[in-house]
Amino acid sequence: MLPSQIVLLILVGLFAIYIFRLRSTTGDRVTYLGLAALGGALIIDPEFTNRVAARLGVGRGADLMFYFFIIFALFHFATTAATIRRLQRNLTELAQAQALAQPRPPAVMAPPRSPATPSA
Amino acid sequence: MTVTASDRAATWVIIAAYEEARSIGGVVQQLIADHWRVLVVDDGSDDATADAAQVAGAWVVRHDVNLGQGAALATGFAFAAADRSTRFVVTFDADGQHDAAAIPRMIAPLASGEFDVTLGSRFLDGEGFTGMPATRKALLRLATRLARLTTGLDLTDTHNGMRAFRGEVLERMIHRQDRMAHASEIQAEIARLGLRYREVAVRVTYTDYSLSKGQRLIDAVSILWDLLAAKAR
């Protein structure tokens, strides 16, 4: 085994540990550990991607990996964007509720028609 | 059709304000002098916007963080909805470019029961855009055409901050766009709910100050982005 393969396998192993600590749902764990296992297999047998690529008509295994990486990156971008939108919505609702809970009446005497405190 | 004192007492003029300490006091005073009830939603300003508004006679609610004009108006709408006396809600800009004298003309079509929503337009009478730079005019025309295509509403000015709503229709509308895309969202909601709307000619006075606070060309891109993201959801 080449030194670079050993280094890469250690990195994949660290990724697997990280996943297990951070992801709590079984589905996520299975998915990401599956990815890690696939990564490990590809490191041990680099020719495997070339064989698959040849069968799919892509050409080189490196190209195939690159295409997979693009798809994964787009997927990751979409899910991250959705998470950010959800967090933004939560933040908005929280700040709005906070604001409405503490209405500040005018500091000077407004005209007599001024309203009673709305029960916000 | 005139606006009565009881109409005024049943109206909230809502101003979303971010870092407007310089102008907000004068804007509020002018409205208070006209016997309007004013709510300023301070959208997380670091300056004295909230204090200035309060001293000038407005009610103030304050976001602890800056969320955007759409979110600030939504907070104001919720405040007005919680007040049982509310019949009309008017949105008004914080930077002094709107004219308080136009508010009765905005409300009269609602008070008569003919319309649910009135939208201010700078282009109805051809002279409502004193001092507007040519690039801004072109951008607005483009936005107007786009809105006509997407909502089918027959409007001459789609991004005017002056609007008036009957309280009960406001509660049926969805307000989900935090930032500037809320203007398009309001039009989409008018179309979706089949609200009766009309435009009212209003004058907008552009000063160096208000221009520095207004929309830039790049904002059009981010507004489009917000809308597309919302559609994709």
Tens digit of each residue's pLDDT (9 = 90 or more) over A34-56 = 888 988 998 999 888 889 889 99
Residue A115: is its pLDDT beyond 60?
Answer: no
Which of 85-104 (B) contact A at CB < 8 A?
A: 85-86
Q: Which of B35, B62, B233 lies at the smallest CB-CB distance from A111?
A: B35
pLDDT of residue B180: 77
Closest CA of chain A from B162, distance in Å = 22
Residue A74: is its pLDDT beyond 80?
Answer: yes
Name the percent of chain A lying above pLDDT 90. Answer: 46
Global pTM? 0.78
Residue A117: is its pLDDT beyond 60?
Answer: no
Closest chain B residue by Cα to residue A92: B67
**Cβ-contact B16, B45 below 8 angstroms:** no
Q: At what angle do helices B134-151 and B182-193 cross, to 10 degrees?
A: 30
> Is the Cβ pair A103, B61 closer than 8 Å?
yes
Q: Is B83 on the interface with A (CB under 8 A)?
A: yes
pLDDT of residue A66: 92
Q: Which amino acid is at B109?
A: P
> Is the Cβ pair B61, A105 closer than 8 Å?
no
Q: Which amino acid is at B116?
A: D
Q: Give counts: helices (H), strands (E), chain B.
A: 10, 7
> Is the Cβ pair A91, B67 closer than 8 Å?
yes
pLDDT by residue for chain B (233 residues), tens only, comes to 578 899 999 999 999 999 999 999 999 999 999 999 999 999 999 999 999 999 999 999 999 999 999 999 999 999 999 999 999 999 999 988 899 999 999 999 999 999 999 999 988 765 555 667 777 777 777 877 777 787 888 888 878 899 999 999 998 998 888 887 888 889 889 999 999 999 999 888 777 666 666 555 666 666 677 667 666 55
pLDDT of residue A111: 53
Q: Cβ contacts (< 8 Å) between A104 and chain B: which residues?
A: 50, 54, 59-62
Which of 10-39 (B) contact A at CB < 8 A?
A: 32, 35, 37
Average pLDDT over residues A82-111: 89
Average pLDDT over residues A104-116: 66
Q: Which helix (H) or strand (E) holds B139?
A: helix B134-151
**Cβ-contact B74, B50 below 8 angstroms:** no
> Is the Cβ pair A99, B63 closer than 8 Å?
yes
Q: Which of B58, B64, B84 lies at the smallest CB-CB distance from A106?
A: B58
Which of 3-22 (A) contact B at CB < 8 A?
A: none
> Is the Cβ pair A96, B75 closer than 8 Å?
yes
- At A120, is the pLDDT very low, low, confident or very high (cuts 50, 70, 90)? very low
> Is the Cβ pair B78, A120 closer than 8 Å?
yes
For A47-80, b where at least 16 C-beta lie within 10 A, e where not — what string? eebbeebeeeebeebeebeeeeeeeeeeeeeeee
Q: Is B188 on the interface with A (CB under 8 A)?
A: no
Question: How many A/B residue pairs have CB atoms within 8 Å?
Answer: 90
Residues B20 and A57: their CA atoms lie apart, in Å, by 62
List % helix, strand, coil for chain B (3-state, nearest 5): 45, 15, 35
Q: Which amino acid is at B140?
A: L
Closest CA of chain A from B30, distance in Å = 12
